[in-house]
């Protein structure tokens, strides 16, 4: 009888421990399942509100097979006028260069052009010794500057630039509006400075956003002659002028914005950011440039 009772007691205790272990396992499983469910709900909410987006892979070829990656974005209602679907295309890593398609609406492009037209003058370049503007045959366009935050439409565009580049609005110079007629161009140059005078305000230029305000029938490409990669793998290769085929080139398209970095992630200057504006062969080219510095640029 003692053996039977002892065995029964031991069996009861074993069942109790087993039950508690099973209960603990189910409790942990339920907790993990609940957390996973909550994570899915939060992710769906973020997607619904457009706070995050999912990448979309395409089959389009590009330099180093990089531009086949598209970052899909949700259509926004901010700004002036309606914009088509926006997406980002990687075109180069040396230099780091990206196209934000449909960055501006047609109404915004027309607004900037009409705002600038009455004040257009012959374009100049910066003198590295004095920091003042001077005429140069390497740049034959006409242009003008818009004061940073000039009006609400300009401010909205500048805010959008800051959101896209992660560079504060205060680090940017005012928008420069440029007009190239047939035969006009800008020879290859760097946007960064090699002197101390021009870096006193805001430090070095770190990046440039070039926004195309019009289409160009022929010519007018932005060319990077020192870029590394397969130049002829861009899908628009057959549409480029002879100048455009001298390097990695971007063909102007109204509303698109080209972001390229003059400095590498290690803060060294990037010589592959050498770039120029090819001569316009047919049509007119309107563009807007935003230069951004590593520190606050006082205007």
Instruction: Give pLDDT, residue 90.
Output: 95
Least confident of 7-11, 42-46, 237-241: 7-11
Whether 167 contacts 262, CB under 8 Å? no
Which comes out higher in pLDDT, residue 1 or 89? Answer: 89
Q: Is residue 195 part of a domain?
A: yes
Instruction: Give pLDDT, residue 86.
Output: 93
Domains of the chain: total: 1
- Between the two ends of the chain, the Cα-to-Cα distance in Å is 99
Q: For residue 145, what are the β-bridge partners?
A: 176
Interval 145-172 mean pLDDT? 97
pLDDT band for position 75 (50/70/90)?
A: very low
Q: Is residue 76 part of a domain?
A: no
Q: Is residue 79 part of a domain?
A: no
Instruction: Give pLDDT, residue 65.
Output: 47
Interval 75-103 mean pLDDT? 88
Q: Is residue 194 part of a domain?
A: yes
pLDDT at 174 over 70: yes
Range of the domain at 116: 88-293
**Percent with pLDDT over 90 in the chain:** 62
Q: Is residue 30 part of a domain?
A: no
pLDDT at 150 over 60: yes
Buried b (16+ CB within 10 A) or exposed e, 31-60: eeeeeeeeeeeeeeeeeeeeeeeeeeeeee
The answer to whether the predicted template modeling score (pTM) of the entire model surpasses 0.75 is no
Interval 172-186 mean pLDDT? 96
Instruction: Give pLDDT, residue 256.
Output: 98
Least confident of 22-36, 60-74, 91-105, 242-256: 60-74
Instruction: In whole angstroms, give the CA distance from residue 182 to residue 175.
Output: 23
Q: Is residue 298 part of a domain?
A: no
Q: Is residue 246 part of a domain?
A: yes
Q: Is residue 75 part of a domain?
A: no
Instruction: Give pLDDT, residue 130.
Output: 63
Instruction: Give pLDDT, residue 186.
Output: 94
pLDDT at 74 over 80: no
Instruction: In whole angstroms, give the CA distance from residue 51 to residue 45.
Output: 9
Looking at residue 154, which CATH number applies to its domain?
A: 2.60.120.620
Output the average pLDDT for the chain. 84
Instruction: In whole angstroms, give the CA distance from residue 297 to residue 203.
Output: 8
pLDDT band for position 44 (50/70/90)?
A: confident
Instruction: Give pLDDT, residue 38.
Output: 81
Instruction: Give pLDDT, residue 56.
Output: 46
Instruction: Give pLDDT, residue 43.
Output: 73
> Would you give the DSSP letter of residue 200?
T
Interval 224-233 mean pLDDT? 92
| Chain segment 17-32, per-residue pLDDT in tens | 555 556 655 677 777 7
| Chain segment 93-146, per-residue pLDDT in tens | 999 999 999 999 999 999 999 999 999 998 876 666 665 566 666 778 899 999
Helix (H, G, I), strand (E, B) or coil at 39: helix
pLDDT band for position 64 (50/70/90)?
A: very low
């Amino acid at each position: 009888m003692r053996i039977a009772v002892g065995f029964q007691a031991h069996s009861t205790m074993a069942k109790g421990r087993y039950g508690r272990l099973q209960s603990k396992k189910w409790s942990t499983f339920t907790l993990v399942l609940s957390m996973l469910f909550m994570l899915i709900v939060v992710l769906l909410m973020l997607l619904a509100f457009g706070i995050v987006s999912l990448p979309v892979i395409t089959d389009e070829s590009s330099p180093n097979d990089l531009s086949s990656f598209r970052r899909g974005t949700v259509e926004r209602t901010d700004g002036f006028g309606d914009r088509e679907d926006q997406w980002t295309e990687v075109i180069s890593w040396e230099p780091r260069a990206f196209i934000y398609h449909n960055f501006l609406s047609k109404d915004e492009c027309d607004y900037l052009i009409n705002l600038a037209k009455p004040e257009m003058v012959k374009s100049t370049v910066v003198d590295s010794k004095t920091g003042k503007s001077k005429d140069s045959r390497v740049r034959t366009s006409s242009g003008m500057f818009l004061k940073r935050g000039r009006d609400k439409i300009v401010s909205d565009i500048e805010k959008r630039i800051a959101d896209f580049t992660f560079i504060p609005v205060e680090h940017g110079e005012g928008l420069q509006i440029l007009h190239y007629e047939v035969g006009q161009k800008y020879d290859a140059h760097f946007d960064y400075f090699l002197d101390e005078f021009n870096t006193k305000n805001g430090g070095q230029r770190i990046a440039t956003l070039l926004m195309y305000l019009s289409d160009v029938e022929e010519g007018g490409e932005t060319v990077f002659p020192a870029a590394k990669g397969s130049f002829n793998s861009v899908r628009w290769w057959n549409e480029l002028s002879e100048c455009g085929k001298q390097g990695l080139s971007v063909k102007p398209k109204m509303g698109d914005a080209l972001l390229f970095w003059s400095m590498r992630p290690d803060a060294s200057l990037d010589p592959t950011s050498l770039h120029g504006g090819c001569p316009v062969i047919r049509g007119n080219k309107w563009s807007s440039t935003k230069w951004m510095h590593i520190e606050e640029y006082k205007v």
